[in-house]
Structures are given as structure tokens and as C-alpha cells.
Amino acid sequence: MAKCPICKSRKGKRKCLIADGLICSLCCGNTRTSEACSECVFYRKPKRKYNEVPSYSVSEMDGNMELESYGNSIEGALCAYDMENGGKLKDSDAIRIIELLIDKYHFQDQQMDQEHPLIVNGVNYIEKSITEDMNEIGNEKIVRILGVIRFVARRRTKIGREYMTIIHQYVGPRIASGVRVLLR
């Protein structure tokens, strides 16, 4: 086998769309870009580091009526969406919906890639709530609220619906802008 044309030290084993010939796996990973390599079989979309997204801390949210009302609006919309779907929303679905909203508001993604219809419809449902209840605040604040909600959801969940149960019990479904109902 020929040496990699980029590093000239290891054997080239991967057919490269950019370089003319076979390159080594290390150079493939180091030189890969989404623009040039999205059609390559070795390309993987980079994973987002949601833990590094700016967010409020739980203590910053606690007692701040404005921030709590925004968080309750999002969690209330999750409750309402869950109820409309017969209680089928798992914690992992709720977390994925929040992550896709972070993708939109923080990473500026314009579209969702191959998501389940339950998730896509959930994003649209929650986004409608955000538009109605938070139209006067900026994306940075929305991202920070979504970040803390994701943190809390991941902390509360084990394998099923623990987080969803908690928000149903303490937040309740959102039925209109600024209106939620606690069901006991």
C-alpha cells in the first residue's frame, strides 16, 4: 500500500474525496470538513456538546419569578404535548426536543435531520409556546433557560418518565400564554 499523501508516514487505506488517492485514518479524521466530506462513507456529523451550552444554574432560576415563568412555560408545553399524545413522551424524547430547540436557538440550525415525527411535532409545539410567551426576550436568554431545563431533565431521569412525572405534578400543562393547570 502507498503512503498517505498528507502525512507521508502511514499507509493510506481510505479513499479520499479531497486528496488524490488513499489517506490514513488519522489524516482522514483531522482534515475532514462537513462541506467537503459530507458524501464520504467515513464522515460522521460531530456530536454537539450540550453540557457546554450557556445555561442558568438551578439556583439562579430558583426564586427568580421571571425566569421561573419562562421555564414553566416550556415545561408546561411539554406536559400539554405529552397529554395530547396519550402520555407517550419519555424523558429521552423530552430531552431530545429540548436539544433540538438548543440546536435552533444556539447553534442556528435551520432544519432537523431524520427525527421521529413525535419529536419533530414536539419541537414545533414547544416553539409555538416560546414564540407566544417569550417574544420579548433574546435568544441568549432562551438558550440559557433551555440549557437548565435539559440539565434538570437529565438529572431527574433514570430510564423512563421520571422527569415527565415531576413536571406533570409540579408544573402542569400549559393551556394558553401564561396559563397552566395543575392536575392532582
E strand or H helix at 22: strand 21-23
In angstroms, the CA 131 to CA 95 distance is 19
Residue with cell 433514570: 158
pLDDT score of 2 more than 70: yes
pLDDT grade for 1, boundaries at 50, 70 and 90:
low
131 and 107 both lie in a single domain: yes
pLDDT grade for 42, boundaries at 50, 70 and 90:
confident
Q: 139-173 pLDDT, tens per residue? A: 999 999 999 999 999 999 998 999 999 999 999 99
What is the domain extent for residue 60? 51-180
pLDDT confidence of residue 176? 87
31 and 67 both lie in a single domain: no
pLDDT score of 113 more than 80: no
CB atoms within 10 A of CB 162: 14
In angstroms, the CA 97 to CA 123 distance is 5
In the chain, % of residues over pLDDT 70: 99
123 and 174 both lie in a single domain: yes
Mean pLDDT, the chain, rounded, equals: 92
26 and 58 both lie in a single domain: no
42 and 55 both lie in a single domain: no
151 and 176 both lie in a single domain: yes
- The amino acid present at 110, given as its one-letter code, is Q
pLDDT confidence of residue 184? 62
From 61, 68, 36, 80, select the one nearest 180 (Cα to Cα).
80
